[in-house]
Structure 1
Amino acid sequence: MLALRLIRGGHPLTLLRRLLVACATSVVGFLLLAALSHALAHPHRSGGSLVQLVWCLVPLAATVQFAAAVARTDPGSRSRSALDAAGVGPARVPLLAAVSTAMSALLGSAVALVIYLHLRGQLAAAPFDGAAVGMLAGDRPLPVAATVVLLAVPPLTAACGAAVATRPAALPAVAGATAGAPAGTGAAGGGGGGMHAAPPNGADVRHGHADGSGEGQPFRVLPGPLPASVTLPWGAACLAAGLATETYASRSPKPLSLSAVLSNSAPGVLGGWLLAALGLVLAGPGITQLCGRLLAVGRPGAVRLLAGRVLQQESARIGRPLGVLCAVAAAGLAAAELYGASPQDGPRMFGPLTLLGAALVVVCVTASALTAAAESRAARRPANAALVRLGAPRRLLRGAAVVRAVVVCAVMGALTWAVSQLAALPLTS
């Protein structure tokens, strides 16, 4: 009931984001039902139907990422004072976000079912009724159990993604203190005030008096996500391993076509692409932090110093969505290179369902990156207000924002182009 009230009383921009989540889940549900129709129409080609169903995981993953980004920026999950007054503690925030996301996704699944039945010709007296009877196997009976299971997949995965994205960033673990003493309160038996320290690696340590005698006992809070300096080497290793795997698997007497790769005729090449995409996603925060370090190197001015510090601080927040966006863009450029080498595969590979899924992936990853940027801007608002009160001109903040955008776009764009060329080179040479 609380999740429903939060949805009804949300800001128009928040309602728009939830509506976009519903639209994305409706497209994913329709693609899953289309894969079911392919299996019904071609019962003897189970391999092709399985490949089409597996490829639906790509738009599903993009939708889950977008739903998680929307859940993180939901004002209802960030208004701690209001939620505490309503009796919702930090542990119940992920459940609240999961329920809210599931409600939006269920609306999308319902819309997908209505559109699917309408195009199959099972909803009479409506415009375009039965417009895709042949493509959606309208002459075959629809299994109810399989339809329900497929339509339940997007809401469940989106709800799980929202719950993971809004979980408490750190779980308190008291070391050497009396049980029941609140972390950071200063004393368990009436001692003095405590001191709070935040180490650079993200681990939160609170020192307080455990017995009131003067020696402080540390209250260590487990760190959240891995720092960017750790994920960058792993991302680079995955990227290099993926490109090497693709190069080794593409050695054949005749060049592989795009249809052969996408139809899983060359699993080594496809696996190398997926491993390289994972490397870009993992390296995204590290590359963003590296851009910030390069901006702040030497003796920078106020604009360059502010831009570099912000990029370093927000690398974990905006780096991962930027890495996903770079991976999708690199895959699109590599597919365009392969399509240029064998244009005869175009009419067979790029049908309406493929274009619909590709458009959904591009829209979702772009919207996720923009949502992360908006979340970062909202998090910087108090600091920007403090700078303005201290006398910093507005053009300084705008100049720093422009410098950040230009540097990130230049570095990420160059990396995306290089990865796409390296991914397409073994298949076109």
Structure 2
Amino acid sequence: MLTLRLTLAAPPLALLLRLLLVCASAGLGLLLLATLSFALDNPDQRAAALVRLAWCLVPLAVTAHLAAALARTEPGTEARCGLDSAGLGPARLPLLVARTAALPAVAGSAAALLVAARSGIAGSSGVLTVPQLPDALARLPLPELSLPTPAAATLLSTVPLLAALAAAWGARPGAPRPWTGTEDTGAAAAASAAGAGSETRATTEPRKVSCRVGLLVGAVLTAGGLLLAAYAARDAAAGGSPGLGGWTFPAEDVAASPLAAGWLLAAFGLVLAGPGLVMLSGRLLGAVRPGPVRLLTGRTLIREAPFLGRELGALSAVGAALVALVRARLTDAGAAVLPGPLVGASVALSGCCVAGAALAALVRARRARAPLRGLLERIGAPQGLVRAVTLLRACVTSVVFAGPAVLAGMFTALPPH
């Protein structure tokens, strides 16, 4: 009952994320059923079936990340004192959040099952046919034979189970939380009263080191992914080599080629480099005798780098994919870049989930800045200062993450056509 009340009384952002989770779970269920039907129809093509299953892992991981973002937007995860007094301790609170995240995922899996069941009812003599869907979904290899019930149930239960685990992990007591603007004041007072300045620096220093290491590793992975894709495209244009099997990159072979591995590696590098980019931009803004606007903007960016940078890095990877897709359309290589509806649906689901998680992170950051805005109002700061800080922060983050997205999309190698 408490899970249902939290679902019905959720804020608009949580409702939007739940709707995205329902759509992602339904689309992912159709992809998993399509992969199972391909494996049953082509038992001699095990490698191709594994490739299709591997392409389903990408939206599965992004859907789990969306469920974790949904868990962090729940207001109950912040008011732990009141929930503890109500009997929800550190062990029961993740279970409650897991149930609230698993409910929309179960609804999406049920919708995918209803689509497959409706197509089976419409068929004759027990043969499942493709339902009346849009062209992009009608081309999915939905089963031409009846699927085994245990296998279909196992695949469809994967998404709710993983969403529940990710939500419980995101709502754990030790999960990272955004800076609320009052922690520096309390830490400074404690340091001045008890001499705990070294302890305060010790808690913030690991985050800075992790952001720096993430920036370095992300840059290396992004460069390595772009080089791997360029090497694979050049080898395919030259006619292939014995080591690579002589690929010529038809539409059905791109998903299993080093070209796709290079794309995924570059995207993962952009995600890892996100916190370091945010922290670096904040430090550059706060350098060389900054004014109030630059100082406040730089400090907030540094504080928000650990939890906001990865979401913006993932959004930058999606932007790079869009730039590469536009290049492919302009160079008549679009048919080779999107090998059929399976990869296209995976990319669309991943993009929607990444956008939802980034929106949740931005709202959490805005909510965390409320004490700082209240403090500025109490000391009589002009409203133009707050607007200038907001505008400068938005411009800096847009430029910092749009630049790598455009560069990665422009330098990403495309299949020869």
Structure 2 length-normalised TM: 0.81
RMSD value over aligned CA atoms?
3.2
Contact 1:257 1:342 survives alignment (8 Å): no
Q: Does 1:156 align with 2:161?
A: yes
Cα distance in 2 between the residues matched to 1:166 and 1:160: 10
Question: Structure 1 residues 202 and 249, CA, compared in 2 at 3 Å: closer, same or farther?
Answer: farther
Q: Give CA deviations for 1:98-123 in whole Å, capped at 9, x if unaligned.
A: 22211221121111211222244459
Larger Cα-atom Rg: 1
The corresponding residue for 1:200 is 201
Cα distance in 1 between the residues matched to 2:175 and 2:7: 27
- How do residues 129-168 of structure 1 correspond to structure 2 at under 5 angstroms? 130-131=131-132, 136-137=141-142, 139-168=144-173
The corresponding residue for 1:332 is 322
Code of the residue aligned with 1:34 in structure 2: it is A
Contact 1:18 1:70 survives alignment (8 Å): yes
Contact 1:121 1:131 survives alignment (8 Å): no
Cα distance in 2 between the residues matched to 1:244 and 1:122: 49
Contact 1:241 1:272 survives alignment (8 Å): yes
Question: Structure 1 residues 78 and 366, CA, compared in 2 at 3 Å: closer, same or farther?
Answer: same
The corresponding residue for 1:385 is 374
What displacement does 1:41 show? 3.5
Cα distance in 2 between the residues matched to 1:337 and 1:105: 35
Segment of structure 1 superposing worse, 379-388 or 237-246: 237-246
The corresponding residue for 1:213 is none
The corresponding residue for 2:214 is 231
Q: How many residues align structurally? A: 384
- How do residues 259-278 of structure 1 correspond to structure 2 at under 5 angstroms? 259=251, 262-264=254-256, 266-267=257-258, 269-278=259-268
The corresponding residue for 2:239 is 254
- How do residues 272-311 of structure 1 correspond to structure 2 at under 5 angstroms? 272-311=262-301
Cα distance in 1 between the residues matched to 2:265 and 2:361: 24
Code of the residue aligned with 2:40 in structure 1: it is L
Cα distance in 1 between the residues matched to 2:279 and 2:337: 42
Q: Does 1:323 align with 2:313?
A: yes
Segment of structure 1 superposing worse, 140-149 or 110-119: 110-119
Cα distance in 1 between the residues matched to 2:331 and 2:253: 13
Q: Does 1:22 align with 2:29?
A: no
| Paired residue secondary structure (1:202) | helix
Segment of structure 1 superposing worse, 83-92 or 7-16: 7-16
Cα distance in 2 between the residues matched to 1:67 and 1:317: 15
Match of 2:354 among 365, 368, 371: 365
Question: Structure 1 residues 335 and 302, CA, compared in 2 at 3 Å: closer, same or farther?
Answer: same
The corresponding residue for 1:178 is none
Cα distance in 1 between the residues matched to 2:285 and 2:251: 43
Question: Structure 1 residues 246 and 342, CA, compared in 2 at 3 Å: closer, same or farther?
Answer: same
Cα distance in 1 between the residues matched to 2:74 and 2:153: 29
Greater fraction helix: 2
Code of the residue aligned with 2:366 in structure 1: it is R
Structure 1 length-normalised TM: 0.79
Q: Give CA deviations for 1:307-334 in whole Å, capped at 9, x if unaligned.
A: 1111111111210001111122223323
Cα distance in 2 between the residues matched to 1:84 and 1:260: 54
Contact 2:105 2:163 survives alignment (8 Å): yes
Q: Give CA deviations for 1:240-266 in whole Å, capped at 9, x if unaligned.
A: 3323333444442238547366331x2
Contact 1:238 1:276 survives alignment (8 Å): yes
The corresponding residue for 2:184 is none
Match of 2:224 among 241, 245, 252: 241
| Paired residue secondary structure (1:263) | helix
What displacement does 1:417 show? 1.2
Code of the residue aligned with 2:263 in structure 1: it is W
Q: Does 1:422 align with 2:415?
A: no
Contact 1:169 1:224 survives alignment (8 Å): no
Cα distance in 1 between the residues matched to 2:358 and 2:139: 38
Cα distance in 2 between the residues matched to 1:57 and 1:170: 24
Question: Could you list the runs of 5+ residues in structure 2 that have no partner in the other structure?
Answer: 177-192, 241-247
What displacement does 1:46 show? 3.3
Contact 2:70 2:360 survives alignment (8 Å): yes
Q: Give CA deviations for 1:265-307 in whole Å, capped at 9, x if unaligned.
A: x23x333322222211111000011111122221222222211
Code of the residue aligned with 1:48 in structure 2: it is A
Contact 2:17 2:66 survives alignment (8 Å): no
Question: Structure 1 residues 83 and 101, CA, compared in 2 at 3 Å: closer, same or farther?
Answer: same
Contact 1:239 1:279 survives alignment (8 Å): yes
